[in-house]
Amino acid sequence: MKFWAAVAAVSLLTATEAAAAPQVLQANPSDVKSRNIEGRSFKLAQIKNVHFNQHGKGPRALAAVYEKYDIELPETLLTVLRQILLDIGFDLRARSLMSARAPDNATAPYNNNTGQGEVTATPIPFDVEYLTPVDIGNPPQTLPLCFDTGSSDLWVFSSNTPVSQQGGQKLFHIDNSTSAQKLQNHTWSIRYGDGSGSSGEVYLDTVDVGGIKVENQAVETANQVSSSFTRDEHSSGILGLGFQSINMVRPNKQKTFIDNALKSLAMPLFTANIRKAAEGNYNFGFIDETEYLGNLTMIPVDAASGYWKFKGTAFSTGFNGTNSAISDIVVPLEHPAIADTGTTLLMIPEAIVQAYYRQVANAYDSKIYGGWVFPCNSTLPDLTLYISSYKAVIPGELINFAPADLDDPATATICYGGVQSSRGFPFAIYGNVFFKAHWTMFHVEEKKLGFAPRSGE
């Protein structure tokens, strides 16, 4: 194949010779010690968003990553997105052409065409397919939130959110909570790649996740919400599980829920068990050995970045592991990456993406669909990503992400890839396409990730 001829001059490794970085540890669950023998542990199931709209699922998922990380959308993807919005009945004239005032210190990607600090935004539908219930306030108000290891803010639609920016979400009614206290002179603001943003005030209140109560937790209530979020009526906000350094409260960053909850947990960690086409779960304070196979591979994290950041080291492709001549060839390609449960796709370096899709007949990077697509009847090869010594196999069936030309998988002929390029991003983003194959432990205290193949459904 042309690709393998092209990389023949590159220093290649066999699968058993993949470079292992220092500090990588093979661990048995018994090696992960409890810090609080009287601490709590609990399993928290996801709930399916019954309002999730499948139309344009692939391009919308890709656009959402650009939005989240404040990267300007490519014009081809923006064009695709506008058509999808029209298809699902989103009134671009009335809503997507609304102006959002940019911050005084706004930089790219704000396009200040008016000369008055205003931007024109096409809203990206931030629909979330799976959510998790969280209780806020006294008496408790249960809100469905997205658990997101790629951010560090707990923000919600609230009674302060203008009616015009609500879309049927369940609100946090501040005045109904007897324990809510406003954090004076503190605000929060998050901006997105289309120039829009969400912002508001900060309250300290009780937050209960799975029976673990944290008092005086910073709850960021929305006074302004990007229309990207407004249309998802089932999601009431986000609970960030990243590190405090990327919290967006000013002037003083606030601790995340998991930071505040650590002292109450039996183990200072949480795990993500994300499943294909089904509700998964998060476990806090314990390790469920039935959810994965073999031992854990422990990887150090660069927590100074604020993200669960690590190094990817190499990759290989092969047709479902059946072609040993291909699947044994490992190409070294070191790249920074983050583990992000709030991102759907697997966003990896362009070189890996091209190498992978060259193994798929008639796959191409489509301007019509805004990303890599392929015939739906393709037998997709597995993709193997090396994280130091850990060999993370992504089955080809998980890379067939969604139908592209039609909404019904049974009749669609063109499908959207769950692997897309991270070109233009500061790091690769290992999202839920990765997690559906690999059970992941987030050790908050030791700042490590633990990986293992997921057990069967």
Q: In this predicted structure, which of 41-45, 105-109, 223-227 has the lowest mean pLDDT?
A: 105-109
Question: Who wins on pLDDT, 95 or 116?
Answer: 95
Write down the pLDDT at residue 241. Answer: 96
Q: What is the pLDDT of residues 435-453, one digit of tens each?
A: 999 999 999 999 999 999 9
Contact residues for 346 (Cβ-Cβ < 8 A; gap 6+): 394, 399, 418, 419, 420, 429, 430, 431, 433, 434
What average pLDDT score do residues 9-31 get? 47
> What does the pLDDT look like over 165-206, one tens digit per residue?
998 899 999 999 999 999 999 999 998 666 667 899 999 999
In terms of C-beta density within 10 A (0-12 exposed, 13-18 middle, 19 or more buried), how is residue 362 classed?
A: exposed
Residue 116 has pLDDT above 70, yes or no: no
Predicted pLDDT at 20: 41
pLDDT in tens, 250-290: 999 999 999 999 999 999 999 999 988 778 899 999 999 99
Name the burial class of residue 341, with classes exposed (0-12), middle (13-18) and buried (19+) by CB atoms within 10 angstroms of its CB. buried
Q: Mark 210-226 as b/e (b = at least 16 C-beta within 10 Å).
A: bebbbebbbbbbbbbbb
pLDDT exceeds 70 at position 36: no
Q: What is the mean pLDDT of residues 375-383?
A: 95
| Percent residues over pLDDT 90 in the chain | 62
Residues with catalytic roles? 148, 340
Q: What is the pLDDT of residue 34?
A: 56
Which residue would you say has higher pLDDT here, 229 or 217? 217
> Mean pLDDT over residues 205-230, rounded?
92
Judged against a pLDDT cut of 70, whether residue 95 lies above it is answered with no
Residue-averaged pLDDT of the chain: 83
pLDDT-derived band at 227 (thresholds 50, 70, 90) equals confident
Contact present, 333 and 19 (Cβ < 8 Å)? no
Q: Which residues contact 22 (CB under 8 A, 6 or more apart)?
A: none
Mean pLDDT of 21-27: 54
